[in-house]
């Protein structure tokens, strides 16, 4: 199954909003764009305005390295490695012009489409209710794919 991770930035908004001090702009469209822009620029190591597969892989490796630090043996599991590979493939599939690079516009396209679908009152901000109701209506992520397997 092809991973569908477009909602991860939105899911991040839920958790950030649950633990961070109440910032009225924390769940806004502009906040999401600013956050993704910051991450994009940080990983665009050569400053060319695009993420190469190598830059994207380095970003995913760093993310999963942080994840493994919270595991008892601090080692990458087969399941985590599979998820890492799927995320790299997913993000590279967002390269809509097929030039081998991911631009910020390409990176933002699907998450912003999901955001706009969830933003029922069109105020540029998402409430918890909009996010959770939108996951059924707009979502492209199946949370069951990421639930622990028994």
Q: What is the pTM of this model?
A: 0.72
Average pLDDT over residues 2-12: 44
Which stretches does DSSP call E strand in 44-105?
50-52, 101-103
58-99 pLDDT per residue, tens: 999 999 999 899 888 888 889 999 999 999 998 999 999 999
Model pLDDT, residue 110:
87
Q: Residue 4: enclosing H or E segment and its boundaries?
A: none
Asked whether the CA dihedral 89, 5, 116, 22 is positive or negative, the reply is negative
- C-alpha triplet 101, 55, 37: angle, nearest 5°: 75
Per-residue model confidence as pLDDT tens digits over 13-35? 443 444 444 566 678 999 999 99
- Per-residue model confidence (pLDDT) at position 18: 41
- Which domains does the chain carry? 8-146 (1.10.238.10)
Percent of the chain exceeding pLDDT 90 equals 53
């Amino acid at each position: 199954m092809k991973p569908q991770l477009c909602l991860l930035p939105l899911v991040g908004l839920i958790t950030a909003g649950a633990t961070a001090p109440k910032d009225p702009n924390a769940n806004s469209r502009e906040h999401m764009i600013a956050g993704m822009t910051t991450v994009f620029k940080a990983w665009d190591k050569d400053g060319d305005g695009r993420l190469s597969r190598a830059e994207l892989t380095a970003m995913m490796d760093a993310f999963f390295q942080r994840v493994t630090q919270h595991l008892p043996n601090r080692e990458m599991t087969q399941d985590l490695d599979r998820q890492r590979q799927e995320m790299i493939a997913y993000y590279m599939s967002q390269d809509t012009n097929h030039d081998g690079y991911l631009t910020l516009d390409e990176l933002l396209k699907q998450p912003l489409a999901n955001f706009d679908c969830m933003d029922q009152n069109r105020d540029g901000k998402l409430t918890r209710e909009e996010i959770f109701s939108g996951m059924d209506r707009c979502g492209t992520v199946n949370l069951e794919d990421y639930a622990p397997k028994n």
